Structure 1
Amino acid sequence: MPGSIGEEVGWRGYMLTRLIDARVSRPILVSGMIWGVWHLPLMVAGLYYASPILLLSIVLFMISVTSFGYVIAYLRLATGSIWPAVFLHSTWNAIIQNVFDLFTQGDSVLLWTGESGVFVALTLLATAFIFSKKQWTMIRTLPKQGEPLV
């Protein structure tokens, strides 16, 4: 959870809201892509999950992370808080990096599952598409005690 707190404070708590304030076109897409690129040096160095085909892993990882950024951004902006984003991010890391790894075996397992896997990328891409078509209500900060939420 500590890593997720740090990332969410930075990515969705600070950067996303600053991109929105700066009127950057498609701020959620841009923030998701920056989030993905931030992880790439770890993949290239072999310190992060990747299949034997590094270039394919990078492309699939970027699709996964950028797509997942839509879901996390929705939680952040719909609630006005980073905590739902932190909990989702932490849960994601625990499941994808621990549970998936324990229950999937084989030579090309990382090509299909994990954060740089084909199935995960396609699922997250479909999810991001659905979230991107929703009408979003943006709450920048939580209301003070006694104020209505909307």
Structure 2
Amino acid sequence: MIKRRLVEFGVICFVLTWVPWGVLGVLGANPDEGAGSLVFALAASGPSLAALVMWLRYRERRRVVRWSLVWPVAAVVLGALPPLVACAVMGDLPALPDHAASVISGAGGLLGAAAYTFLAGPVAEEFGWRGYVQPRLRGYFGLLGTTLVLGAVWGVWHVPLYFLPGTGQQDDGLFTQQGLTFFLELFPLTLVMLFVSERLRGGVPAAILLHAAWNLTQELVPPLGHGVWVEFLVLTAVAAALLTSWTPVRRGRRVAA
């Protein structure tokens, strides 16, 4: 039953996203202007929209979030740390204030930057990936299995962006160090999101906050260049540390991942 519903979610999600993105690509429409921006935004919301369809169709119970100060702080720190460390290692910290100010100004100010950061990616995706898919995968796989499967699906879902003019991914290129590290980072990032959403019981809000902190910090720091490998190594080290220290608790028993 769960497997069938996961497949159903996947079909709905990829159709909602890939078809509109493909149409934009064929028409050569600008995803940042006019009707193209609306179509692009709706398509980018494919994961969360697919989760909404599944929840409405099957009336499945959603997990309860444990509200505390722990997971919000953890989500922000864990999301912002790797890009900031990479920026420091590359010696670009002095240039960070001017670059950040330029990015914020281009987004229409601090409020505009914050709104875009939360909506474009975190809210559009996380109700699907972390809210619907993740807990159902955990019924079949341990931490590593869930990380590998969800990280791979998450990466494949992004592939059309590398062929859609006007996107940051298309500017970076698929077969570059930026393209390679983008996909590699999704695996440790998936595990870190597992930690804040499941272990700290922050649920979807924690995943949204971490995703937003990750995206915003990457935008605010100057372009990392070869520093993307430093970012990847730091993120992987963080994920490894969380994995080795995490023994999930179920039904009063401590069980191995």
TM-score by length of 2: 0.44
Please give the per-residue CA displacement for 1:3-29, whole angstroms capped at 9, x wherever unaligned. 3023111111111111112x1461122
Aligned partner of 1:40 among 159, 163, 167: 159
Are residue 70 (structure 1) and residue 191 (structure 2) matched? yes
Deviation at 1:59?
2.2
- Measured against aligned partners, the alpha-carbon deviations of 1:106-143 in whole angstroms (never above 9, x if no partner) come to xxx45324xxx21211111111211221224368xxxx
2:203 to 78, 81, 100: 81
Q: How many residues are paired up?
A: 127
Confirm or deny: 8 A CA contact 1:44 1:54 kept in the other structure: no
Aligned to 2:243: 132
Query: Runs of 5+ in structure 1 lacking a partner?
Result: 140-150
Out of 29, 37, 50, the residue aligned to residue 148 of structure 2 is 29
Contact 1:4 1:90 survives alignment (8 Å):
yes
Q: Does 1:58 align with 2:179?
A: yes
Note if 1:121 corresponds to 2:232.
Answer: yes
Cα 1:136/1:48, change in 2 over 3 Å: farther
- In structure 2, do the counterparts of structure 1 residues 41 and 138 end up closer, same or farther at CA, with 3 Å as the change threshold? farther
Query: Is the contact made by 2:197 and 2:206 (CA closer than 8 Å) also made in structure 1?
Result: yes
C-alpha deviation, 1:53, in angstroms: 7.5
CA contact (8 A) 1:12 1:76 kept: yes
Tell me, in whole angstroms, the C-alpha distance in 1 between the residues paired with 2:202 and 2:174.
39
Amino acid at match of 2:126: E
**Structure with more of its chain in helix, by fraction:** 2
Q: CA RMSD in A?
A: 2.4
Deviation track 1:67-123 (CA, whole Å, cap 9, x = no partner) reads: 1111111111121521111111112111112x11xxx2xxxx45324xxx2121111
TM superposition shift of 1:40: 2.4
Contact 1:40 1:58 in 2 (8 A): no
Structure number with bigger Rg:
2
Residue identity in the other structure for 1:67: P
| TM-score, normalised with respect to structure 1 | 0.71
CA offset digits 1:34-69 (Å, max 9, x no partner): 212222221344522464672433321112121111
Identity, % of aligned positions: 26
